Amino acid sequence: EIARQLDSADLQATALDTTGQIYLAKHDYSQAEAYFKKAQALYHGFGNDPDEITLNLAHAAMGQGRLEEAACLLRQSLESVESRGANRFKYQFYELLAKIYEAQNDFQNALEQYKRFHSLKSQVYNEDTQRRLANLMVLQEVETARIDAEIYHLKNLALRKEISVHRQAVADMEILATTDALTGLLNRRHLITLAHYAFDTAQRSSQSLMALMMDIDDFKKVNDCYGHPTGDQVLAEVSAT
């Protein structure tokens, strides 16, 4: 019904063929044949395989005792299959022909068809196996590429993190190397470095240079009377102002 609403003949053919296979599995060969013929009439080259429809029609005819008609369908379809070089259902044609000949007590032909059936079946299965192996190899290559890309991404993340940590460590070391831990002011060594730079700049540009020095009155008395921890606290508070 959906296929009709979509106005798709090939979709209708596929639905009819599938319905016929259901009746075939239930051994209702007459109903199965009716659906297969409807599917065959609607077939336009897409959706379902004409060889499969012919095979199903032969099954239905055989199920209704029309052995010669079934054999004729299979032989005619085999000629078409041979000309097209199609192998997908070919081995099933030989299997059904063998069963028909066996039912007709033509055991010589039945044996011949069974031999062809087993030979082609092995060939088709080997081709399928090779195809599956090729697909698995492609999938493995894709998965390997994905894993490599993920590893590369993680390595980049780790590298960026390592660089960030290194930069932070360098910045921390620079602060430790140029700053007095107690007061947070520039230490003596960095002050001298900056003073040399300022002096050279002023000298090259013929500009004036000033220096300001501050002293805490009676600071020694603070240390002597209240101890060095209190003196350190005074230094930190004065430096913060």
Residue 88 in tokens: 């997908």
pLDDT at 133: 60
pLDDT for 178-194, tens place per residue?
A: 888 787 787 888 788 87
pLDDT at 4: 55
Please tell me the distance from the alpha carbon of residue 198 to that of residue 209, in angstroms, as a whole number.
8
Residue 143 in tokens: 């998965």
Please tell me the distance from the alpha carbon of residue 109 to that of residue 99, in angstroms, as a whole number.
10
The pTM score is 0.44
pLDDT at 47: 43
> Which amino acid is residue 214, in one-letter code?
M
Q: What is the chain's alpha carbon radius of gyration, rounded to the nearest angstrom?
A: 46
Stronger pLDDT, 84 or 223, i.e. the higher one: 223
The fraction of the chain above a pLDDT of 90, given in percent, is: 5
Instruction: With a cut of 70, say whether residue 1 has pLDDT above it.
Output: no
Residue 119 in tokens: 């030979």
Residue 198 in tokens: 């300022």
pLDDT at 136: 65
Question: Using CB atoms within 10 A of its CB, is residue 124 exposed (0-12), middle (13-18) or buried (19+)?
Answer: middle
Residue that has been written with the tokens 């240390």 in this structure: 223
Instruction: With a cut of 50, say whether residue 20 has pLDDT above it.
Output: yes
Stronger pLDDT, 76 or 66, i.e. the higher one: 66
For residues 20-32, average pLDDT: 90
pLDDT at 46: 46
* Residue 122 C-alpha from the chain's centroid: 33
For residues 153-164, average pLDDT: 84
pLDDT averaged over the chain? 80
How large is the greatest C-alpha to C-alpha distance in the chain, in angstroms? Answer: 130
Instruction: Write the CB contacts of 46 (distance below 8 Å, at least 6 apart in sequence).
Output: 10
The DSSP call for residue 45 is S
pLDDT at 64: 92
Confirm if 97 and 113 have CB atoms less than 8 A apart. yes
Q: In angstroms, what CA-CA distances link 134 with 62, 139, 147, 161, 213?
A: 38, 9, 20, 40, 83
Closest CA to 62 of 86, 85, 36: 36
Please tell me the distance from the alpha carbon of residue 200 to that of residue 161, in angstroms, as a whole number.
39
> Predicted confidence band at 45 (pLDDT cuts at 50, 70, 90)?
low
For residues 73-93, average pLDDT: 74
pLDDT for 94-149, tens place per residue?
A: 888 888 888 988 888 888 888 888 777 777 666 556 666 666 677 777 777 777 78
pLDDT at 172: 80
pLDDT at 236: 82
For residues 204-224, average pLDDT: 82
